[in-house]
Amino acid sequence: MPNDNKQKPILIVNQSAPYGNANAKESLDLALASSAFEQALSILFTGDGIYQLLPKQSPDDIQSKNLLQMLKALPIYGVEQLYVDQQSLTERGITELDTQLPIVLVNSVEISRLYHDAQTVFRF
Amino acid sequence: MILHTLNKSPSNEALSEQLSQVIQADDQVILLEDGVYHSLLENNDTSHWLGIAAHVHALNDDLKARGLTSNNSAIKTIDYADFVRLSSECDKVIAWY
Amino acid sequence: MTQQPERDAQGFIVDLNTWTPTLAIEIASEEGIALTDDHWEVITLLRNFYMEFSISPAMRILVKIVKEALGEDKGNSIYLLTLFPQSPAKLASKISGLPKPTNCL
Amino acid sequence: MIFSVLVLGAPYSSGASYSAYRFAQAALDADHNESHNKNHSANHNECHTIHRIFFYQDGIHSSSQLATPPQDEFNLYQAWQDLQSTYDLDLVTCIAAAVRRGVIDSGEAKRHNKLQHNMSTNFSLSGLGQLVEANALSDRVITFGR
């Protein structure tokens, strides 16, 4: 039954590396738009999506906007925590993510819970 | 109960792994587009989504187009009306692509 | 008056690097606004936000930024409407030399 | 049940737009054949509506007016337009995604000083807020990805 008053939490899953395609940017655009409507929103970075969180990105010379810089605005837009798949980090040999991001590492049980708690899942 | 849709062939292993991580025993899967090639596989591995899902369905039009028939007894052939019905019966639909 | 940098059909500057405070005064006067210190406070906040995050904020976030920096008295839509009438986020970003905030109607 | 549909892939480049079209058609047909299905699912009143179909990322190309498939191929662009006029569907193309990729309506053409525009009038250009709203007002969002 539709219930307009109920908050339906959204989960956005980022599984694409930045810059190679538009997924990271267009995912962020949706996250910012959701926050304008004060929707409950969680964001999960998994697979190649964790490359979006690497420090020291400077895409000026490929004429791209800095996605990492934009991700840092998420807390101001009401997204207080960014969930990051611990296993994806390990598999990719990544030991260091940008320290200014509000990152929470999650295991596969917690990831499964994020999916099940969401009303709608958008994957990019 | 979640309904998962999958539109990529088994060669996209990362996608299958992600789905396997999320799927639970009472969930269902609809194979569409190149996803229907999964119907050629038998997989009773309890860590793989094919071995976990309560029911796996495949869109008949997409099977037929690719020269596949539903020989796999574990996979039920459906049409788009069934797709709509399953979408309304489950709690939510997650697309894997 | 010197030659103005290129602007798009809606009056936003095309190359963000061509912005100057003088240009801000000119764009504002085209919109019938004489810039005061109160305007400049907001312009500075907007430009700093853009420098930090590369995002031109829409109304809700603009209000939030102003509220955090300048307090409740100024961090509300009525105050911003008196400074930048009709569409504060759009008008303020135009005068501040930022891209038009992404349309989220 | 209220559905909304999200289309992320372009016609020809992916199956997303076609599959979404078939899903929408089936959902609207189920509505029409309500009495027909009565015995089939006694507990379910099969009355479906589609609140909105939102075209995002490469999905926006479905709204191009200029695409002209050969006569011996299915014209998915025309099919979307026909489905829209038959059921008065709300087909919304994401403005930010579309203007970037060169699919614009007459209003955007004026605004950006372009001499041409190419978006079908069966679609409307609007912001991502329309997707967020569709999610809030629908029971299910069905995504068709690339």
Alpha helices of chain C — where are they, by DSSP H? 21-30, 37-53, 59-70, 77-83, 88-95
Domains of chain A listed by start with CATH number = 10-123 (3.40.1260.10)
Cα distances (Å, whole numbers) of residue D10 to A61, B7, D14: 29, 15, 6
CATH of the domain at C39: 1.10.10.370
Our CA-based measurement puts residue B21 at a distance from the nearest CA of chain A, in whole angstroms, of 7
Among D128, D131, D132, D133, which would you mutate to test the C interface (most chain C Cβ atoms within 10 Å of its Cβ)? D128
Pairing, β B92-96 against β B2-6: parallel
Please list the alpha-helical segments (H only) found in chain B: 13-22, 49-52, 60-65, 80-89
* Residue C70 placed within a domain: yes
Residue-level pLDDT at C103: 58
Touching B: which chains, 3+ CB pairs < 8 A? A, D
State the 10-residue block means of pLDDT for chain D, 146 residues long: 98 97 94 51 68 98 96 97 98 96 96 94 96 96 97
Which residues of chain A neighbour C104 with C-beta distances below 8 Å? Answer: 32-33, 36
C31, part of any domain: yes
Domains of chain B: 2-96 (3.40.1260.10)
pLDDT score of C1 more than 60:
no
- Chain A residues in contact with C52 by the CB 8 A cut-off are 69, 72-73
Question: Of A19, A27, A32, A65, which to mutate for an interface test with C (greatest number of C Cβ within 10 Å)?
Answer: A32
C49 in any annotated domain:
yes
- Please check whether residue C25 lies inside any domain of the structure: yes
Closest Cβ opposite residue A76 in set C61, C102, C104: C61
pLDDT in tens, chain B (97 residues): 999 999 999 999 999 999 999 999 999 999 999 999 999 988 788 899 999 999 999 999 999 999 998 777 889 999 999 999 999 999 999 999 9
Give a yes or no: residue C103 inside a domain: no
What pLDDT digit, counting tens, does each position of D107-143 carry? Answer: 999 988 899 999 999 999 999 999 999 999 999 999 9
pTM: 0.94
pLDDT, tens digit (0-9, with 9 covering 90-100), for C75-90: 999 999 999 999 999 9
Contacts with A16 from chain B: Cβ below 8 Å: none
pLDDT value for D137: 95
What pLDDT score was predicted for residue D111?
87
Report the number of distinct structural domains present in chain C: 1
Query: Is C41 part of a structural domain of the chain?
Result: yes
Q: Is C80 a domain residue?
A: yes
Structure tokens at D15: 């199956």
Kindly determine whether residue A65 and residue C54, on different chains, have CB atoms separated by under 8 Å: yes
Q: Give how far Cα A7 sits from Cα of A40, A74, D53, Å.
A: 7, 20, 21
Let me know if C65 is a catalytic residue.
no
Residue C66 belongs to domain spanning: 16-95
Alpha helices in A4-119 (DSSP H): 23-36, 67-71, 86-91, 108-117
When the pLDDT of each residue in chain C is averaged and rounded to a whole number, the result is 93
Test D137 with A29 for CB contact under 8 angstroms.
Answer: no
Its ipTM equals: 0.94
CA atoms of C5 and D96, how far apart (whole Å): 25
Do the domain assignments include residue C102? no
Please give the pLDDT value at position B16.
96
Structural domains of chain D sorted by starting position, each given as residue range(s) with its CATH number in brackets: 2-144 (3.40.1260.10)
